[in-house]
Chain A
């Protein structure tokens, strides 16, 4: 049983508030990803959970025990860092067994636990090497091995894949997911990469400027972003936002282009994902500026009126910069935001 509950957690650096009263509940065995732009306080929050930063306010509990005043080693956590942070002068085996040796665990048990972790991660042949003799991916695996050996209640990951190249990142992503399914341990994982968040998480916490913007399951955030920030952050290529007003149940851009029927609404921003635009013979006129075919789909960048828009289509399109296409907005997938950026619910009548 190792749920983590964070209650009004705050962190001040001097007068600067890096974490502004955050509430998160992580269920036992859950894979939670903290995601947000660089500098939003993800690492700070994670380090507070680990006990590496003092908590300026609020409460952090692991397995129902408040841990605010416990040192890191007594919190039942293990952490994996972006830059691996291996002990350079120790072999892989010594790196992995360090915590157990400090705890004076009997030698045979140490060996057994190290060997088991090494087998899980495919490190068996590397146990006698030193960190400098390993590749980036292998080093990150050793860092994970060092965490596994401690048999923690909660794993904390701080951007563990950011230093790896793209191909390795995808591979390690699935390895970490498989590891989670195998061990069933609670994981709190920090990343600035929304793709990582979407593919790995049971639950995503989107943060900005020390505050939580939204908590939810990946597809929940994709389908029902609570505000413009989350809408723009989740999904790639990013959601298009058109400025305009609603008149007679119709959203018109500031250039007067009729976008979609949305019902009566206070909305001043209409959001639509590139993949939710469809080509049609008539509809919203789109002036093409650039076409990028990837084979499976075609990405079109252009303008509706004077506002930029990106569309992704399954069809192959033969058009040139300057040409005019017509697109239809899938009204199921139109998002509306008020002037403050908050999501505006659409009235039912908009569906007709």
Chain B
């Protein structure tokens, strides 16, 4: 019994304080999301008369979702957002892991300089270049295409991804790479062998880069505002003016837009748990 090292019933004061802080911040981030979700199922009047109440028999209404699906091309926006996010994400991950491998693995002149160059991309806000980007897209005839968004987001996500992944690539034990080279692996295979060992880092980068892309309003607005290339965020924003600020629709659209990103998040965050490097080296 005394060898039982589970925490005893009497929780120490320190733990109470810690939990209070944690609960506070959890609430701070969850409550607004919950409010959006709850209110999206209420009638317009109920939203304003009692925003914190749960939908009851009288106040329950699906009018918001009805508007979203019937009176706009919401499914198209969905597909657009998913396409842009997933393609950008895949491009970022492929390019950034390869760049990180090269920066961490090979000694060549300009290695440090190149790393600094990527670092610079983290510091400078990409939106500063919006005008010239628009000009570029106009001359490339890419305005109002998803490709324009994919290009910009890939470039935007690259610096942070390269930075994080390079740090992790440096930590891959060089003996694993050496063993692979002795076993006859070419450099591409050596590169592929390092990926499983940095899986948690890749998942982190995926989450960090995908959320701003999914949520972005700016670039869809200036580079691809056409109805057929609108993304979810832009579509949701359009309810703000188009139907005299249709709050039901806005809340419904926001609730719906959280779905895919949540799914992607769950997929990637599971990678954190599997400590796959365990056992590779001592």
Residues of A that sit less than 8 Å from B by CB: 47, 50-52, 71-73, 77-79, 81-89, 98-99, 102-103, 130-134, 136, 139, 146, 150, 163
A131 cross-chain contacts in B, Cβ below 8 A: 278-280
Indicate whether A50 sits within 8 Å of B182 (C-beta atoms), given known contacts A85-B173, A85-B175, A87-B176. Answer: yes
Cα A300 to Cα B32 with chains together (Å): 76
Cβ–Cβ contact B184 & A102, under 8 A: yes
B174 CB → nearest A CB, Å: 9
- Name the interface residues of B179-206: CB closer than 8 Å to any CB of A: 179-185, 189, 193, 196-197
A98 cross-chain contacts in B, Cβ below 8 A: 180, 183, 185
Indicate whether A102 sits within 8 Å of B282 (C-beta atoms), given known contacts A85-B176, A88-B276. Answer: no
Cβ–Cβ contact A132 & B278, under 8 A: yes
A62 CB → nearest B CB, Å: 13
Indicate whether A146 sits within 8 Å of B175 (C-beta atoms), given known contacts A88-B276, A132-B278, A163-B282. Answer: no
Indicate whether A84 sits within 8 Å of B281 (C-beta atoms), given known contacts A52-B178, A79-B179, A102-B189. Answer: yes
B135 cross-chain contacts in A, Cβ below 8 A: none
Choose among A77, A103, A130 the residue that contacts B279 (Cβ–Cβ < 8 A). A130
B278 cross-chain contacts in A, Cβ below 8 A: 88, 131-132
A16 CB → nearest B CB, Å: 15
Cβ–Cβ contact A79 & B182, under 8 A: yes
Cβ–Cβ contact B175 & A81, under 8 A: yes
Chain B residue nearest in CB terms to A81:
B175
Cα A122 to Cα B184 with chains together (Å): 26
- Name the interface residues of B155-187: CB closer than 8 Å to any CB of A: 173, 175-176, 178-185
B275 cross-chain contacts in A, Cβ below 8 A: 132
Chain A residue nearest in CB terms to B278:
A132
Cβ–Cβ contact A72 & B181, under 8 A: yes
A89 cross-chain contacts in B, Cβ below 8 A: 196-197, 276
Cα A150 to Cα B181 with chains together (Å): 13
Chain A residue nearest in CB terms to B179:
A85
B182 cross-chain contacts in A, Cβ below 8 A: 50-52, 72-73, 77-79, 99
Residues of B that sit less than 8 Å from A by CB: 173, 175-176, 178-185, 189, 193, 196-197, 275-282
Chain B residue nearest in CB terms to A142:
B279
Cα A71 to Cα B182 with chains together (Å): 8
Cα A133 to Cα B280 with chains together (Å): 10
Chain B residue nearest in CB terms to A150:
B183
B182 CB → nearest A CB, Å: 4
B279 cross-chain contacts in A, Cβ below 8 A: 86, 88, 130-134, 139
A335 CB → nearest B CB, Å: 39
Indicate whether A102 sits within 8 Å of B185 (C-beta atoms), given known contacts A81-B179, A84-B280. Answer: yes
Cβ–Cβ contact A87 & B175, under 8 A: no
Q: B183, B197, B278 — which one has the most chain A CB atoms within 10 A of its CB?
A: B183
Cα A77 to Cα B281 with chains together (Å): 21
Indicate whether A83 sits within 8 Å of B173 (C-beta atoms), given known contacts A88-B276, A131-B279, A132-B278. Answer: yes
B197 cross-chain contacts in A, Cβ below 8 A: 88-89
Cβ–Cβ contact B178 & A81, under 8 A: yes
Indicate whether A84 sits within 8 Å of B282 (C-beta atoms), given known contacts A73-B183, A102-B185, A146-B179. Answer: yes
A132 cross-chain contacts in B, Cβ below 8 A: 275-276, 278-280
Chain B residue nearest in CB terms to A129:
B279
Cα A297 to Cα B28 with chains together (Å): 72
B180 cross-chain contacts in A, Cβ below 8 A: 87, 98
Cβ–Cβ contact A85 & B178, under 8 A: yes
Chain B residue nearest in CB terms to A162:
B282
Q: Could you list 10 A-B pairs, sorted by A, with CB under 8 Å?
A: A84-B280, A84-B282, A85-B178, A88-B277, A89-B196, A89-B197, A99-B183, A102-B184, A134-B279, A139-B279
